[in-house]
A and B are shown apart, each in its own frame.
Chain A
């Protein structure tokens, strides 16, 4: 697995750093440009002539811009996660990658882990940079409040939230990979593969949304955990594990690279 991570880093670092560089170039460019403009408005405003409308007008668009910029970074990481497997299975180098004597479970596992790291890193950078932009422009300290409220949470809830997030993101990536696996297993010779894959993805998500809660309840009951919250999480983990197993199985036994 370590060797696969090494390969993934070699494959991705230039693109990832490029995207990150572009993000911070735009981020700092606009931050510095708007800082001067905001300072002049803020300097002319005090408690006696406080103008809420002017404040919203001055900050509103700018904060929304940084949120959109951070969302762009997040979506770039999602595209990166999808492409981690899509391009590997599509380009001619797939004959080399899928000839590596490792199980499909290891290969898919490494792709999922790399994708998770990308998505979480992008989310973290996006979130922190928006808060920091807000703080820089307004001179309000809100980061401390956020950190305090996170650490004020009960440990159980914090762990539950972290595991839940990791599982949710893993499931999101795996559903895309499952669509690829189904396409390559059963429709690999069909034309308009991208359209079929999107159709499969929508179908799978429909089925999941429709039946997931009942599956989770059943599995949660089956593992007989005293705390329903943890039972639900265990059920969810088993569900994600089952999807991973199906994706690995299809890539190991059924997928064709025509």
Chain B
């Protein structure tokens, strides 16, 4: 089932075209890897889809017509930077999510913070980058949404936290949701993504089922990534 269809999406900044006639379809029940080097337009696409950035032109179609409030309920976006309030305690942050996002699964986050060995009374600013990264992912995935947009979840994260985040993401696949993960760290994501989308300078370069691409090209997605962007 299609979660989202993007048609001829354009985003122009003052002197740069960040997205250039970008068209793509995201299907439910899958983890999709949005791959590309820095500045290729991954974050711009995610921010437009989450309603935080305005598109210049193009069409974005969800399963049902979504706008404003409903769009924000349906799309769970996690930015690269920490978007959590540094002055809040972990428990206050969980309460914040619970009170504003309908269907938020508190038990899921509590389980995650137990595994992470985080004190509910610790302030967000006192957490390490890895702890913050894992908490961010846990909070985003505990939201009840149809489309999860996870932007560069492994940036600046230590190897142990990376494995934990990948585990959390892999365990969330379900028929009623689609998880899109943007990254240029292909090697780590290779084993969990179902589909991959290669984006270059705001244009769609290549997309397809990860397994099919591996078989067709006789190389891993990681090697394919290097092949696609070798001249960049």
Contact = CB atoms under 8 A, between A and B. Distances in A.
A96 interface: yes
Contacts of B92: 10
A96 B85 contact: yes
Contacts of B53: 256-258
Contacts of A101: 69-70, 72-73, 100-102
A17 interface: no
Contacts of A254: 54
Interface in A80-94: 92-94
Interface in B62-96: 68-70, 72-73, 76-77, 79, 81-88, 92, 96
Interface in A1-20: 3, 6-7, 10-11
Given A3-B100, A101-B102, A257 B81 contact: no
B182 interface: no
Please report whether the interface of chain B is mostly helix, strand, loop or mixed according to DSSP: loop
B14 interface: yes
Interface residues of A, number: 26
Interface string A188-225: 01100000000000000000000000000000000000
Contacts of A100: 72, 100-101
B47 interface: yes
Given A94-B83, A257-B53, 10 more contacts: A6-B99, A10-B88, A95-B79, A96-B85, A103-B68, A103-B69, A189-B13, A190-B14, A253-B54, A258-B53
Interface of A: 3, 6-7, 10-11, 92-96, 98-104, 189-190, 252-258
Interface of B: 13-14, 47, 50-54, 68-70, 72-73, 76-77, 79, 81-88, 92, 96, 99-102
